[in-house]
A and B are shown apart, each in its own frame.
Chain A
Amino acid sequence: MDTDHYFLLTSHLTLKAGARRLVSDLNWRIQVGECWCIIGRNGAGKTTLLRHLAGLQQSGSGQISLEGRALHHWPLAELAHRRSYLPQGRNDAFAYRVIDTVLGARHPYHDGNFWESERDIQLSLAALKEVDVDGLAERDVRSLSGGERQRVAIAAQLAQDAHCIMLDEPCSALDLSHQISVMELLAERCRTRKKTVLMVSHDLNLIYRSATHALLLMPDAGWLAGPVAEVMNQDALSRCLQHPIQTILHNGQTLFVPGHQALEGKHHGAA
């Protein structure tokens, strides 16, 4: 099998939480320029999977390779140019300024310099502008609202400028218009700048609008991966989320709406 042209590849990856299987025998192929979204119920292993792919956790069995090289063989410093990772929660212990947190993401490019270069500063300010928080650059990060803090964290991902951007629920705290603009921004990075995006999200409509591919993690540790148009259908989504999902075509837009559990019966969810 020719696997070299895949950007990120997992083979026979099995992840567990204690004795419980989260994902079984995952063979996932990701190519440059694809925008993937991981869908699944709470506790289905979405974050665990993303952390494994980011190299932050190594408890699973099976292989993960990045650009044809086993993930654990990559030196940390080189890996920092290849992928960035946005965790779900943030806790800020100290009063750094917003711009400091974004400049921190330029660390992989410091080349032994003690201070950031002028270019780092320009790129960081530009990243803040892209997610509409450039006005907050001098603010204490601890004084931001949840949504503002999250957009600053996304700006840091942009400033890191890695080949692959991994985000764990990037839109969870954002208002509707910022949810859409952030998703569009990420999708645009994939289309025009050859970036690859892997993210966890719960918003099916948003995913369908912006992502190119989806990975569904099933409750029985099974999985389904493919282009959104193929895998995001009523049947698969209902099985994945254990709740009936209906698709509606409205003004040329496909919308996902939750059905009524009571009416459609439990048998659907258990299928």
Chain B
Amino acid sequence: MSKPAAGPRTRLILTALSLTVLASLVLAACTGSVAISPADLLQAGADYFTGAPSGLAATLIELRVQRALGALVTGASLSLAGVLMQALLRNPLADPYVLGISGGAAVGALTALLCCELVWMMQLAAFGGAILVAGLLFVLAYRDFRGSGTAEGSATTLLLTGVIVSSGCMALITLMLSLTPDSRLRSMVFWMIGDLSATRSSIFTWLVLLGVLAYVLGRARAINISVLYSDSAATLGVSLGRLRKGLFLCAALLTASAVSTAGAIGFVGLIMPHACRFAWGPDHRLLLPASCLAGGSFLVLADTLARTVIAPQQLPVGVITALIGVPVFLLQLHQHRQHHGH
């Protein structure tokens, strides 16, 4: 944020990340039980645009690209939601799920799975559950949204309320799991770990992601101020109450839309913001778009691994993100500690 080259540097990093996203999509399209060469991919792409997709390759690519786009938008949403949640709570340990919004989604989704097995019903119920919990939190922790919160400005009421609501949701989930007949248990568990096998990227999730990104980018400076100065951000002209409401709404929408498309995929929303901050610093003007792109391509790659690593069987992608995420996070933390000597 200091150097006059902040703008060009940001452009450079974002361009590189965009290329990474493209590369991960290409890789996802080419990899699988039937490998497709990049040449075939180009051919199929040309066919697709001329409106004559034909042959096995084209069908496979369409399926894979659809799924990869779903992973992209989900990863980007979760990662962005993580950044926003961490900024809102001024706590680097926060993630999109810490406040129980995903718990609400899980309760909704499992209820739908218990009653019927329609995918769209489940998605709707998940989204509804998430929004319901977000609304509940907003009412219960309204004190933290009025602007003059605690002196540390870290929205303690919201965090505590969220953690409690989250455990309430977990109790409901356990209850439902114990009542469910064995035949349906598998799909429920897969949903809870996070699974992209049935995912199509819907227009809605893209709209939520792009809308939120545009909104928060416009406020990136104010977000920096609120994270840096907490409560006294108001003395710099930042309307803290309004900003917090905005951040909460955005994070809740992103989480709800991501979780209702792909289930509660863990670690993306915690690891990717950290990785980006570690690599390029905590300035939100770069961090917001960078974490979107990085989170998106990370999930595309993780999903490609999930469906190929023990092919023909497919793993839920949440397993992969956790298996990669945990060691990477520990390593990063360790290096950080060493670096700062505390």
Point out residues on A near B: beta carbons under 8 Å: 54-57, 76-80, 83-87, 89, 91-97, 99-101, 103-105, 107-108, 110, 114-116, 118, 121, 124, 137-138, 140, 142-143, 160
Docked CA distance A124–B1 (Å): 12
- Per the bound structure, the CA–CA distance linking A87 and B231 in Å amounts to 9
**Which of B1, B3, B234 contacts A56, CB < 8 Å?**
B234
**Which residues of B lie under 8 Å from residue A143 when comparing CB positions?**
340
CB-based nearest A residue for B340:
A143
Given contacts A56-B232, A94-B227, A95-B282, contact A76 B2 (CB under 8 A): no
Q: Which of B151, B222, B239, B340 contacts A142 (CB 8 A)?
A: B340
**Bound: A93/B239 CA distance, A:** 20
A-B pairs with lowest CB-CB distance, top 4: A80-B237, A99-B2, A94-B282, A77-B237
Contact A54 B277, beta carbon cutoff 8 Å: no
Size of interface on B: residues with Cβ below 8 Å to A: 36
- Contact among A87, A99, A118 for B1, CB-based, below 8 A: A99
Cβ of B16 < 8 Å from any Cβ of A? no
Say yes or no: is B327 at the interface (Cβ < 8 Å to chain A). no
Q: Are A76 and B277 in contact (CB under 8 A)?
A: no
Chain B residues, CB < 8 A from A95: 277, 281-282
Q: Quick one: closest A residue to B287, CB to CB?
A: A94
Interface membership of B90, Cβ < 8 A: yes
Q: How far is the CA of A118 from the CA of B235 in the complex (A)?
A: 23
- B120 at the A interface (CB under 8 A): no
- Within B180-223, which residues are at the interface with A (CB < 8 Å)? 220-222
Q: Which residues in A have their C-beta under 8 angstroms from that of B249?
A: none
Assembly CA distance A54 to B90 (angstroms): 23
A100-B283, A108-B236 as given contacts; A115 in contact with B6, CB under 8 Å:
yes
A57–B148 CB distance below 8 A: yes
Shortest Cβ distance from A143 into B: residue: B340
Using CB atoms, name the residue of chain B closest to A114.
Answer: B285
With a cutoff of 8 Å between Cβ atoms, the chain B residues found around residue A105 in the complex are: 236
| A85 touches which of B148, B152, B228, B235 (Cβ 8 Å) | B235
B225 at the interface (CB under 8 A from A): yes
Known A76-B238, A99-B1; 20 more pairs at CB < 8 Å? A54-B232, A76-B237, A76-B239, A79-B237, A80-B236, A87-B231, A87-B232, A91-B152, A93-B91, A93-B92, A93-B227, A94-B227, A95-B282, A96-B227, A100-B224, A100-B283, A104-B224, A107-B237, A116-B2, A143-B340
In the complex, which residue of chain B has the Cβ closest to the Cβ of A92? Answer: B228
CB distance from A6 to the nearest CB of B (A): 21
**30 A–B pairs (Cβ distance < 8 Å), ordered by A:** A54-B232, A56-B232, A56-B235, A57-B148, A76-B234, A77-B237, A80-B236, A87-B151, A89-B151, A93-B91, A93-B92, A93-B227, A94-B228, A95-B282, A96-B228, A96-B282, A99-B2, A100-B2, A100-B282, A100-B283, A101-B228, A107-B225, A115-B1, A115-B285, A116-B1, A116-B6, A118-B4, A121-B4, A124-B2, A138-B2
